[in-house]
Structure 1
Amino acid sequence: MSYPQPGTPEEKLADVKQQLGLPRIVVICGSTRFMTEMTEADLRETKAGRIVVKPGCDMKSPHEFWSDPVDAEALKVRLGELHRAKIRLADEVLVVGDYIGDSTRAEIAYARSLDKPVRFTHPEVDPSA
């Protein structure tokens, strides 16, 4: 007797999300200089019935967690890894803001390498446009 081969982890995740009846998950990306705009995008996406994940730390604003430069650099690396995990979890990406820096450009490239749809609040900044 033949059994179907298990799919990729991504296919399994998509299947489980469908079985659970989860709404679409959107991850917000962009420079943390746009945190206010990210909050507004979060409201709009939530109102539209989507689950939203976004950056949880604005390292441009003072905080004791990143006041030490050595700690801050290590945290930045961990936050980058965490955000890539959010991209893997999400069904789509929403890039907020009218500026794309190196980190956001890398996140867009990563999302596209995973075949995730990418939307922009300012489509003119799409690096592939």
Structure 2
Amino acid sequence: MVCLCGSLRFEHLFRSERRRLTATGVIVLGPEPIGEDPTPALRHALGELHLRRIDLADEVRVVSEGGYVGDATRREIDYARAQGKAISSVEPTLDL
């Protein structure tokens, strides 16, 4: 099971990676765009929900472009690392 992490500004990459992994038989967990600008309370709740996805996953796969990793994604990577999860990236040169 893989949890996709990264900025939803790369929604097209999330869709592509989700399709690619699913086609190889991998269960994929990841954030879903909610179509609105979330309130701070909703943003916090969604962040906590995503940490629970990481808890369920065997691997965290960072979805990014041009090496961009924002603060929320960095927090998710740090959390995954603390939980002993394998971490990979769609960008082979991304320094995690």
Q: TM-score, normalised by structure 2?
A: 0.90
CA–CA distance in structure 2, aligned partners of residues 74 and 36 of structure 1: 26
Within 5 Å, which residues of 2 pair with 1:5-84?
A: 25-57=1-33, 63=36, 66=38, 72-84=39-51
What's the counterpart of residue 90 of structure 1? 57
Deviation of 1:124 after TM superposition, in Å, equals 2.4
Q: Greater CA deviation, 93-102 or 81-90?
A: 93-102
Q: Deviations over 1:28-74 (max 9, x none)?
A: 0001111110000000010111101110125xx5x3x73xxxxx111
**4+ residue stretches of structure 1 with deviation over 6 A?**
none
The answer to whether residue 96 in structure 2 is matched with residue 120 in structure 1 is no
Give the structure with the higher percent strand: 2
Asked if structure 2 preserves the Cα contact closer than 8 Å seen for 1:100 and 1:125, the reply is no
Q: Distance in 2 between matches of 1:104 and 1:123?
A: 17
Q: Which residue of 2 aligns with 1:12?
A: none
Which has the larger share of helix?
A: 1
User: How far apart in 1 are the matches of 2:95 and 2:88?
Assistant: 9
Provide the rounded CA distance (Å) in 1 between the counterparts of 2:12 and 2:18.
10
Structure with larger RCO (C-alpha < 8 A, sep 6+)? 2
Q: Deviations over 1:70-97 (max 9, x none)?
A: xx11100000000000000101011011
Structure 2 equivalent of residue 101 of structure 1: 70
TM score, norm. by length of structure 1: 0.68
Identical residues among aligned pairs (%): 43
**Deviations 1:100-121, CA, capped at 9 Å, x for gaps:** 0111111011101111001101
Letter in structure 1 aligned against 2:45: R
Residue identity in the other structure for 1:31: S
Task: Answer with 1 or 2: which has the greater Rg.
Answer: 1
Where structure 1 has 5 or more consecutive residues not aligned to the other structure, the ranges are 1-24, 67-71
